[in-house]
Structure 1
Amino acid sequence: MPERSIPALRAAIAAHAPQLLADFEANWRDKIADTYDIGAAPAFLARWWAEYALARDPGLDDHVRDLETRAAESADPDKAKALLEEAAQIHHRVSRLGPGE
């Protein structure tokens, strides 16, 4: 993981997960650049930190997306909840990664 800053994260996304770059840039403009709301920067960084952490591990990213898709398609609320809880645990784990990990 890069240094925990928006410029470092943007550079890492551009270099290692370019498929995320257009969404990252659009979200940056929508949440911060166009609104001048720098108070939104911590939430922006947290969201994209986790997105990048997943994207650098395609197998884990696919697994999380599969869990979320299966939950959305499930007719069983308990099964859907369990699938979403597993996905949330993974999101939480990767969001806690530090620079260099």
Structure 2
Amino acid sequence: MPDRTPKALRVAIAQHAPQLLVDFDRHWRRDIADAYDLAPVPAFMARWWGEFALARDPQLEARVHGLEDAADQEPDYARAKALIEEAGRLRRQAAKSEPGQ
């Protein structure tokens, strides 16, 4: 994982998960770039830190997306909820990655 700065994260996304770059840049321009208030930056970083952490592990990303897709198709509410909770747990776990890991 890169240093925990927007610039370092953008560089890492460009190098290792370029499929995320358009959305990252769009989100940055929309919510952060011209802001006079930096309050949204931590939420922005948390979201994209987690997205990058997931994208850099293709097997984990496929597992999470598979769980989310299965939940979308699951007719049983309790089973769908369990699938979404597991996907969320994996996303949170990936987002806990620290710089240098």
TM-score range relative to shorter protein: over 0.9
What stretches of structure 2 of length at least 5 have no aligned partner?
A: none
Structure whose residues are more often helix by fraction = 1
Quote the residue 1:83 is aligned against. 83
User: Structure 1: which 4+ aligned runs deviate by more than 3 Å?
Assistant: 34-37
Q: Percent identity?
A: 52
RMSD between aligned residues = 1.0
Q: How far, CA to CA, are the matches of 1:10 and 1:36 in structure 2? A: 21
Q: By how many angstroms is 1:74 displaced?
A: 1.1
Paired residue total: 101
Paired residues of 1:31 and 1:37 also in contact (CA < 8 A):
no
Provide, for residues 4-32 of structure 1, a one-character-per-residue CA deviation record: whole Å limited to 9, x for no partner. 11110000001111111001001111221
Mapping of residues 56-67 of structure 1, within 5 Å = 56-67=56-67
Q: By how many angstroms is 1:36 displaced?
A: 4.0
Q: TM (normalized to structure 2)?
A: 0.94
What stretches of structure 1 of length at least 5 have no aligned partner?
A: none
